[in-house]
Each structure stands twice: as structure tokens, then as C-alpha cells.
Structure 1
Amino acid sequence: MSTFKTEAIILAKRPLKDADRLYIMYTKDHGKVEAKVRSAASCKSKLAGQVEPIVLTRVMIARGKGFDTIAGAQLVRTFLFNDQAFGALAAELIIKFIKPGVADVRIFDLLLSYFKAAEQDNLPAEKIKILTLRFIWQFLSLLGYQIDTNGHSYGELPALSQASRDLLDGCLKQKSQLTILKTSTKVVNEVAVFTQNCLRYFLEGDLQSYKFSFYPSALSSGNHQTRP
């Protein structure tokens, strides 16, 4: 049975039969990997605490005929967000867009950089939204998607204002973080709706965690409606 070791960002976990759990991760050397931990739900499991979403960990993966197995893990860092919905959104984005086994260290580095930036103490929710939009569009750019701010390529979406175009342009620049964090709430909301519509077009469906990240007040009041 072959094994490999790599750094991994744990994205999600799902139940398997009995007490086993399937963990979905994005690794530095092997891209998206799905591997199980036997008896992870048991209180005696020594591995489960090392691979909970959302953490950075070093894992040893044993290849298997069915599922690969996490044979060992060492926790490196836990990411603590003021709002865990943003971590869930980034994880869902990776899970839905990336196929297993397609490695790209740029995606790993981008995800790690986003998690580090978004967990800063006392970071206002509005600034986390901007960092998240920046992460989404840089991620899409790495996958080869191009921004059409007139909306013509994405199902005839409404064209953006110049201020929103400037924010999108800033999101794609590697050293623009401090500048775009000064963007107004109105512009952030416009770009958030545009981004949601683009993601819906690309995926032919919605990211379930998007509304929890960008529209929590509407959800809590029971008045949330899917953005056009």
C-alpha cells in the first residue's frame, strides 16, 4: 500500500458507515483529496481532532482501492473566524469547482493566505466580505475564468458601476488589499450580488454558504430572497 505526506487544508467532513468519516481537503502537493478516518466519531479517535474543518494540518495518506485513508496527522494551525460562514464559503467553492487529484500550489497558497487574512482579530464584517470577494475572483482567475463587467458573457447580467468595476479590478491585483478595504458598503453589496450571479452561472446552481456569508441579516429576519 503506497503512502504520501503533504500539507493539507481540511475543507469538510461527511459521515460514512458506522463511525467512519470522509474528510475532504485541499493539499499542497496533490490538489483536492478525499480520505477517510476509521472510527473518527469515536471518543477514542486520536486523528479526528487533528483534521477537523477548517484547519491546516500535515497528513499521511494511504492509498486504497475504495477510499484513501488518513494514516497520520499533525495539526499545524486552526483558523478562527469572527464568522465561520466565510470559511465554509471558501471550502464549498473549492469543493464544487475542483476535481480530485488536480494539483495547483497557487490555489493552496491563495486559500491559506485568505484564511490567515480573514481571521484577524476585530476585522469588521464588511472588510471580511471584501477579502472574500478578492479570494473568489483570484481563485476564478486561476481557473481561467475572465471577468466581464458588462455581464454579456454570464447570462446577460446587469452591467456594473465604475466604482464596482474598480473594486473587481482591485480584487485581481496581488498587492491591492489595503486599497480595496476602503471600498464603500454600497459598492461591496453590488459586487457581492454580481459575484453570486456569476458563480450561479458557472456552477448552474447556488453556493449554499454564500447567502450565510453575505446576507445574514436577511436570513435572520426571514426576508432573504435569492438575488436576481
Structure 2
Amino acid sequence: MPLYQSPALVLRTMRLGEADRIVTFFTRKYGKLKAVAKGALKPKSRLSGRVEPFLHVNIIVFGKEKADLFRLNSIDIVEAFMPMRERLERLSRAYVSAELVDICQKEGDVNQAGFDLLLSFLRALNQDMPKDRQELLLRFFELKFLSSIGLEPALEKCVICGAEPKGDKTGFHPAQGGVVCSRCLPGSPSAIIATMGAIKLLAKGMSLPNERLSRLSASPKLILEVDRLVNRFISAHVARDIRSERFLKL
């Protein structure tokens, strides 16, 4: 059977019997795939400690092309992100990001932009930053990842009429995926009120390179508004709730 080699990020693991694990990888070359890590639960196994969530690794798996389950042949750790693991607020956001990717990324669909985004996000979480910037970073990761699979929010023109929104009285339509101008807002009961400041912040974040997202800052009020808008957008377009979100409230 052919071998497949790729940089990868560990999204999650599941116990299989007494000694093995099923590992869900997000690979740069092949998209999301699952592989059996034989003996990974044995203390003396060469795979022990190398298939934990959020590890950046290089893997070799083998199996039939487009198989439902591959076999892990070898794995080398590139980055472990230890400082992130030692802080609950950072680790919680890593779990949210991995769960979103796991839910939304189809197995076998290559998404190099999404892989690079998640890797950049984990590297940013590995650095010291205030909680408010961590929150903004997470919300922009979510929007950018959804954009990488074709769910980019429309922030420049009204999703109803196509006009450029003006003034501070604007809305955001989660289901239709974008901003609503003041003229269309009264006739759009499913839209939620949004300040132009929040819309502009969303647009700015979406335009920035991944490595600069961690530098974004805003007032606590604006961060709360962005948090609300992004969560409503996710609820409208993602098949199920992100259960890891509850860890952010601890």
C-alpha cells in the first residue's frame, strides 16, 4: 500500500481498545484524515506522547487512497506549543479552533490555507498576550477558517441591495452572511443591530495576514460585539454547536 507523508496538526484522538488510538490529523497535503496509532497508549511505544492534540508534526501514514482509516507509520514532533498548554485560557481557545476545523473540514479535501491559518493561530497562542486579544484572535481565526471553505462573510456591501453601508446604523444578517445597510435593516427582521465600528473591525481583521492577527486590539465593548456577531454567524452556518466554547467560561 502507498505511503503518504505530510506536515500535520493533531485535532483530536480517540481510544481504540487497550493500547491503540484513532488520531484525527489536519494535514497540509491531504486535508483531514484519520489514522490508527498502534500501541500509542503503551508507555514504551515509539508513538507514546506524539499523538496529543495540537502537536505540529510530520507524519507518514499508509493505506488505500481516500481510505476512511489509515495506519500511522511514523511521526516526528515539530512544535509542541508547551507555553500554550500551561495556560487554561489559551488551551481552551485551541480546543475551540480544533473542534471547528474537525466539524467543518471534509476528509480528503485539501485546504492548505486553512492548515496554515490553524498553525499560525497556535503559534500566536503560544505567545503571551492579554485575554482580550486572545478573544479577537480566536474570532478572526473562526471567520478566516470558514472563509477558507467558502463561507466568507460579506462586509463591504449590503447583502440585500448591494449598496455600501454608511452611517453608524447598520445590521448583520447571520444567515445571509454579511452586513445590512440602514435602508434594508427595517425590512430584515433576522438581521441584528451592529455598529459600523464592529463591521470595520471585522473587515480589517479579514484583510490582515495571519501572522498579524494577534496584534489587533479593540475596546472591551467592541470585542463583545464582534464576539456576538461571529458566534451568530457560526451558529447559522455550522452544522452543530462548538462544545469546547463552554471552556471559555471557566
TM class, shorter-length: 0.7 to 0.9
Taking only aligned residues, the RMSD between alpha carbons, in angstroms, comes to 2.1
Give the counterpart letter for 2:175 in structure 1.
Y
Please give the secondary structure, in 1, of the residue aligned with 2:119: helix
Structure 2: unaligned runs, 5 residues or longer: 156-170, 177-189
Shift of 1:33: 1.0
2:172 corresponds in structure 1 to: 151
Q: CA separation of 1:180/1:161 partners in 2, compared to 1, >3 Å: closer, same or farther?
A: farther
1:193 pairs with 2:228: yes
Between the aligned partners of 2:94 and 2:61, the Cα distance in structure 1 is 24
Question: Which structure has the bigger radius of gyration?
Answer: 2
**What's the offset of the Cα at 1:17?**
2.4
Residue 73 (str. 1) matches residue 75 (str. 2): yes
Report sequence identity in percent.
25
CA distance in 2, matches of 1:204, 1:73: 32
Is 2:12–2:24's contact at 8 Å kept on the other side of the alignment?
yes
Amino acid at match of 2:23: Y
Q: What's the TM-score, normalizing by structure 1?
A: 0.86
Question: Unmatched 5+ residue regions in structure 1?
Answer: 221-228
Cα gap change, 1:178/1:109 in structure 2, threshold over 3 Å: closer, same or farther?
closer
Residue pairs, 1:68-217, within 5 angstroms: 68-80=70-82, 81=84, 82=87, 83-121=90-128, 123-148=129-154, 150-154=171-175, 156-175=190-209, 177=212, 181-213=216-248, 216=249
Match in the other structure for 1:20: 20
Count of residues paired in the alignment: 214
- The answer on whether the counterparts of 1:133 and 1:171 sit within 8 Å (CA) in structure 2 is no
Partners of 1:179 and 1:38 lie apart in 2 by 38
CA distance in 1, matches of 2:3, 2:106: 20
Q: 1:224 is matched with which residue?
A: none
Does the CA-based 8 Å contact 1:79-1:116 persist in structure 2? yes
Contact 2:11 2:24 in 1 (8 A): yes
Deviation at 1:58, TM superposition (A): 0.6
CA contact (8 A) 2:111 2:148 kept: no
Task: Give, in whole Å, the separation in 1 of the partners of 2:22 and 2:135.
Answer: 30
Mapped partners of 1:49, 1:159: distance in 2: 47
The aligned counterpart of 1:33 is 33
